Homo-oligomer: A and B are copies of this chain.
């Protein structure tokens, strides 16, 4: 989901948290202790890159999607479709 957010444009950690909250209508209200370490992992794994930038008169760590991250996002979308439809088939349709 973080990669999907970044696909629509570079963003810093705090704004990613807000995007997830807003676009999920409040369902994904992720604490910072979840998102920041996740961003560090994504960067460590070479899927995103960060730069320190001045935004609105303030230093922020801005994350950018890089090609490997774009590819990973594409794979994640495919596996999410497979995963969620399998869960739905078992969980929802069964009775």
Hey, which bits of chain A sit against chain B, CB under 8 A?
1, 4-5, 7-8, 20, 23-25, 27-28, 76-77, 80-84, 86-92, 94-95
Contact = CB atoms under 8 A, between A and B. Distances in A.
Chain A residues touching B, majority SS: helix
Given A1-B91, A4-B95, A23-B90, 15 more contacts: A1-B87, A7-B94, A8-B94, A8-B95, A20-B90, A23-B89, A24-B86, A24-B89, A24-B90, A25-B86, A27-B86, A28-B86, A28-B90, A76-B91, A80-B91
Nearest to A86: B24
22 contacts: A1-B87, A1-B90, A1-B91, A4-B90, A5-B94, A7-B94, A7-B95, A8-B94, A8-B95, A20-B90, A23-B86, A23-B89, A24-B86, A24-B90, A28-B86, A76-B91, A80-B91, A80-B92, A81-B92, A84-B84, A84-B87, A84-B88
